[in-house]
């Protein structure tokens, strides 16, 4: 069997597939759906879960125009039809039409939001279709009048002579107010540094966190009942910016439980939901999943074996493994995040302004990642349809120690770099433990290779240029 061929139409996403049908004196054979070959010609991996057959005994049966809330792959087992499709989605192509006479050698992929209809041209026609969501009671969806003058479908058999159900005889006319909006974006962890930056970039996105706030709904991903009640099928993209990031507190009895709930159980739940509802999962992880022994050049790579040190790191690594099971996922590993709220840069700026001369560790080396850079990287991956998988993301420029970053902040605050002295991670840890507080192990080398995301066309901004802008605002 050879590959089928694909033809585009005036309706975005609606494509015609010419199947490889083999005929002989016995009849014919065709591969009606062969996933590997369909993906090879450019069809989306839409994940069908149900196969339906509509048998039509008489020529002239006319069905539709129905806009079910799922993708469909339609074809014929026997007979011929005149197919008609109308774009019912919001946008410039709302109301656009496409028609085609189909026999058993032709199939059409119909994306969600496109009205589907057909008229039977031969007796005993069997119309088959794969869908990627199970039918469920009570579901409603828009329909369109078969004789709507705006779309003016040129039915080969006049509708007055056609066989039409009572329901389809009373479908409404085309109305832009009923246009189907695209599926939404959901931001999980909306009250954190990255969550707030994501909201600024996606003001129409739904937002959830562990507690309610203005415009933010409370949703605990460890609450099975709450998760089951959430309308996950409404979303095309779910961005998980939620995490337990108190690295030292994760070493305590209570912190260990909280870290694993947020960093492992939550992502595992989202990965399962992504498989069930076919949304794209964007998940934020950390360079802490590595032990920091990789050389600074090129730094940690995406395919480096996981080697987490502390509880926080181990819980993040477990979350990475779970997210990797989602069919459509972008796992972004990042480091040293700076955004709205308390963070290292703001602390150093405050110390500089107060005349304090701090001692800062000088043997941990990495790169800052500003939240607006993370938002830009997420948008780039989604908009460019980059290959799903894991990407390292941070700002660019040379790797620096925490002390060097503190010195850069001091210099930009009118203080001397010499006002920031150095210390080792071990000495700093001894001081923390002497106060009876927990201290988690840190990777000493946090710099990551950025080659993979650069290969998608994304060029990270230099960290010091981003620092200048951050301090200015």
Q: For 24-73, how does the pLDDT look when each residue is reduced to its tens digit (9 = 90+)?
A: 999 999 999 999 999 999 999 898 999 999 999 999 999 989 998 899 99
Domain boundaries, the chain: 5-178, 184-472
pLDDT score at 456: 97
Q: Is 118 a catalytic residue?
A: no
In CATH terms, the fold of domain 184-472 is Rossmann fold (3.40.50)
The reported pLDDT for the residue numbered 1 is 63
Active-site position among 66, 141, 233, 380: 66
Cα four-point dihedral sign 137, 96, 72, 60: positive
User: Among residues 20, 8, 48, 10, which one has the least CA distance to residue 106?
Assistant: 20
Sign, CA torsion 434/343/286/315: positive
Q: How far is CA 244 from the centre of its chain?
A: 21
Tell me whether residue 129 is one of the annotated catalytic residues. yes
pTM summary value: 0.86
Angle (CA) 175 180 183, round 5°: 170
Note the pLDDT of residue 256. Answer: 95
Distance CA 197, CA 277 (A): 26
List 127, 129, 312, 470, catalytic entry: 129
Q: Can you list the residues of the chain whose pLDDT is less than 70?
A: 1
State the CATH class of domain 5-178.
Answer: mainly beta
Contact (Cβ atoms closer than 8 angstroms) between residue 406 and residue 358: yes
Q: Are 281 and 326 in contact (CB under 8 A)?
A: yes
Q: In what order do the strands lie in the sheet containing 114-120?
A: 62-66, 114-120, 81-87, 97-102
User: How much is the pLDDT for 341?
Assistant: 83
Q: Per-residue pLDDT tens for 418-441?
A: 999 999 999 999 999 999 899 999
Preceding amide of 298 cis, omega within 30: yes
């Amino acid at each position: 069997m050879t590959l089928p061929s694909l033809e585009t139409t005036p309706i975005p996403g609606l494509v015609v597939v010419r199947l490889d049908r083999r005929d002989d004196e016995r009849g014919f054979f065709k591969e009606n759906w062969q996933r590997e070959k369909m993906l090879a010609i450019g069809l989306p991996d839409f994940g069908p879960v149900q196969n339906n057959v509509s048998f039509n005994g008489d020529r002239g049966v006319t069905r539709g125009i129905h806009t079910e809330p799922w993708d469909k792959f339609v074809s014929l087992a026997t007979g011929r039809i005149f197919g008609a499709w109308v774009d019912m989605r919001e946008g410039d192509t709302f109301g656009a039409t496409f028609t085609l006479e189909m026999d058993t050698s032709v199939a059409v992929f119909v994306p969600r939001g496109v009205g589907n209809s057909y008229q039977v041209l031969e007796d005993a026609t069997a119309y088959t279709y794969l869908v990627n969501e199970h039918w469920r009671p009570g579901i409603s969806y828009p329909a369109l009048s078969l004789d709507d003058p705006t779309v003016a479908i040129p039915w080969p058999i006049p509708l007055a002579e056609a066989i039409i159900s009572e329901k389809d005889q009373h479908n409404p006319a085309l109305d832009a107010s009923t246009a189907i909006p695209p599926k939404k974006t959901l931001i999980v962890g909306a009250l954190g540094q990255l969550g707030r930056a994501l909201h600024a970039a996606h003001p129409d996105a739904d937002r959830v966190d562990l507690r309610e706030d203005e415009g933010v709904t409370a949703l605990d991903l460890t609450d099975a009942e709450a998760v089951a009640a959430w309308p996950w099928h409404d979303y095309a993209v779910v961005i998980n910016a939620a995490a337990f990031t108190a690295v030292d507190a994760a070493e305590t009895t209570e912190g260990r439980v909280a870290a694993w709930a947020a960093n492992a159980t939550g992502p595992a739940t989202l990965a399962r939901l992504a498989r069930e509802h076919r949304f794209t999962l964007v998940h934020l992880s950390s360079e802490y999943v590595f032990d920091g022994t990789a050389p600074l050049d090129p730094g940690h790579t995406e395919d480096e074996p996981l080697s987490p040190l502390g509880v926080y790191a181990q819980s993040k690594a477990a979350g990475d493994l779970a997210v990797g099971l989602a069919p459509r996922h972008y796992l972004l590993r990042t480091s040293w995040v700076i955004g709205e709220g308390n963070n290292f840069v703001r602390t150093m700026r405050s110390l500089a302004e107060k005349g304090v001369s701090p001692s800062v560790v000088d043997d941990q080396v990495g790169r800052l990642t500003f939240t607006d850079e993370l938002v830009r990287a997420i948008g780039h991956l989604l908009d460019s349809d980059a290959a799903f998988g894991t990407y390292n993301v941070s700002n660019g420029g040379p790797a620096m120690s925490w002390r060097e970053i503190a010195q850069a902040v001091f210099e930009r605050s009118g203080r001397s770099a010499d006002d920031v002295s150095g210390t080792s991670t071990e000495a700093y840890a001894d001081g923390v433990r002497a106060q009876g507080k927990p201290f988690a192990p840190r990777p000493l080398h946090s710099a990551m290779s950025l080659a993979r995301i650069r290969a998608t066309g994304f060029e990270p901004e230099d960290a010091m240029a981003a620092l200048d802008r951050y301090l200015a605002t």
